[in-house]
Amino acid sequence: MSTENEGNEGNAVPSAPSVPSAPPVPAAAPEGAPQGAPPAPQTPPAAPADAPTAQVPGAAHQEGVGPSTAAQEQYPYAPPSPQQPPAGSAAWPPPPPAVPSYADGGSPPAWGAPVPSDEQPRKRRASGLVAAVAVAALVAGGVGGALGYWAADSSGSGSSGSTTVAASNSPKDFKREAGTVAGVAASALPSVVTIDAKSGDGEGGTGTGFVYDKEGHILTNNHVVASAADSGQLTATFSNGKKYDAEVIGRAQGYDVAVLKLKNAPDGLTPLALGDSDKVAVGDSTIAIGAPFGLSNTVTTGIISAKNRPVASGDGSSNKNSYMSALQTDASINPGNSGGPLLDAGGAVIGINSAIQSTSGGGVGQSQAGSIGLGFAIPVNQAKNVAEQLIKTGQPVYPVIGATVTMEEKTGGAAISDEGAGGTPAVTPDGPAAKAGLKAGDVITKFNDTAVESGPTLIGEIWTHKPGDKVTLTYKRDGRTETAELTLGERKGDS
């Protein structure tokens, strides 16, 4: 494969930055005993001398934080009571349920035993609080029972009419407007298919696609069908359960786009309407349809959370990567959603769901990655251009600048390599970059008006254009900032 616009062999492609998990939220502290509660039992049950110390949840994560003085002030001291309940009586508290060991290997405190402390009054306050809360709960329960009896009795003993109220319409009678999520889903689902791809050795996976035209072309991701493209088997199942065999018409590994054709396609196929991804704004509503973890016809919602997000992803079966300047959405996207449509609020396709960011490292013993609210879709304007080319010729065409850039992140832009793959020149002789005066070592910092932070960013931006488009590059050389205008060249095929 040509390394045009790609890094040198062996350079790792940086993945999208991981998102730190939100810290655990500590449980709210009690806000004091209910007012008006009856007096608490006056003497707490005696704790054995060797009773273990209870561990307060969250305390281990807050070094140097002592007992809450606010909590001490809210619970008044309870004087001792005259006597303990006799052994064997139905005394409060009842025996505890089984409690697992703490994380440090210790045992939980004895049920009802106060937490040992340097100050004796604190133990008494804690015991008094338990009793006060228990009595208050019993009183509240008694009040609730009395009110319930009064409500039933006040309905009238002589009344024979039913008190059941029925809705005027059942859900099936409700009208789902075209602009609602239910309306969009009802309209789009018949045009979305679940793709089953099986390789020659019988292994396979599940993805999603959607009807592109009335001739039976299905648009999806390359990585959904890559394993079955040459000697495997592909089927597409519609939401009504009808299944059709399919074949690959063309696929573009670099764009992560593929086009299938249904064999014996049925009449009356309804293609999904294509929107304009260039006009999408951050905050616009999104609807994703797919088969996450094989669960076909799943609909999720969210918003566009970012645009022009540089993303590099692989097909899982090779060391080749795909690059996109993606639409980012928080609609739930999981394995199996790949290739499915990302719709706007009106039901038009604005992207093809293609990748997710996950906290899972994918190592041995780890579960398959799932959604954390960071999903990425190929903009539909780019996908449409690729699909038309694949349907027309069966092979992709890529716009290029005629230079090989590194995949390193800390270069302050996209640095042109010292040499290309196999020792070839990093800047193609007589190519667009060479004609514009660019040299090895130049660091490209802008592509038109878009800031370039790395090689994948530059490639993703280039691939949103077509061969022959005129663009402006801003670059740094020896500490100086320069600009160059060039006309994008082309490269045919993935190899």
d(Cα 222, Cα 197) in Å, to the nearest integer? 11
Q: Which pLDDT value is given to residue 212?
A: 97
Q: 443 - beta bridge partners?
A: 415, 476
- In this prediction, residues 199-217 reach a mean pLDDT of 91
CB-CB neighbours of 317 under 10 Å? 10
- Asked about 284 being catalytic, the answer comes back as no
Residue 45 has pLDDT above 60, yes or no: no
Predicted confidence (pLDDT) at residue 156 exceeds the cutoff of 90: no
Distance of CA 266 to the CA centre of its chain: 35
Q: Which long-range contacts (CB under 8 A, 24 or more apart) does 233-238 make?
A: 233/197, 233/198, 233/204, 234/195, 234/196, 234/197, 234/198, 234/260, 235/195, 235/196, 236/193, 236/194, 236/195, 236/209, 236/260, 236/262, 237/193, 237/194, 237/196, 237/296, 238/190, 238/192, 238/193
Q: What value does the mean pLDDT take over residues 343-348?
A: 96
Mean pLDDT of 318-322: 74
Q: Residue 40 — pLDDT band, cuts 50, 70, 90?
A: very low
**pLDDT computed for residue 421 by the predictor:** 82
Q: Is the pLDDT of residue 26 over 50?
A: no
**Does the annotation count 256 as an active-site position?**
yes
Other residues' Cβ atoms within 10 Å of the Cβ of residue 177: 9
Q: Which of 470, 467, 468 is nearest to 486 (CA)?
A: 470
End-to-end Cα distance, the chain: 4
Question: pLDDT above 70 covers what percent of the chain?
Answer: 62
What average pLDDT does this structure show over 333-350?
A: 95
Which pLDDT value is given to residue 94?
A: 53
Contact assessment for residue 350 and residue 286, using Cβ atoms and an 8 Å cutoff = yes
Q: What is this structure's pTM?
A: 0.64
Query: Would residue 223 show up in a list of annotated catalytic residues for this protein?
Result: yes
256, 315, 330, 344: which is the annotated catalytic residue? Answer: 256
Q: Which residue type is seen at 148?
A: G
- Token pair in block for residue 425: 């020149």
370-401 burial, b at 16+ Cβ within 10 Å, e below that, comes to ebbebbbbbbbbbbbbbbebbbeeeebbbbbb
Q: Which of 217, 223, 315, 354 is an active site residue?
A: 223
pLDDT for residue 319: 64
Positive/negative CA dihedral, 133, 135, 136, 142: positive
Spell 126-153 as b/e; 16+ CB within 10 A means b. bbbbbbbebbbeeeeeeeeeeeeeeeee
Percent over 90 (pLDDT), the chain: 51
What's the rounded Cα separation, in Å, for the pair 314 and 320?
A: 6
- Active-site residue identified among 127, 305, 338, 358: 338
CB contact set of 224 (below 8 Å; sequence gap of 6+): 195, 197, 205, 207, 208, 209, 258, 338, 339
For residue 152, pLDDT beyond 70: no
Cβ 303 vs Cβ 349: under 8 Å: no
Q: Which residue type, as a one-letter code, is found at position 445?
A: T
Residue 319 CB coordination number (10 Å): 10
The total of other beta-carbon atoms located within 10 Å of residue 339's CB is 31
Q: Are 412 and 446 in contact, with CB atoms under 8 Å apart? A: no
pLDDT at 439: 94
Average pLDDT over the chain, rounded to whole? 74
pLDDT tier at 314 (50, 70, 90 boundaries)? confident
Question: What gap in Å lies between CA 291 and CA 157, rounded to an integer?
Answer: 56
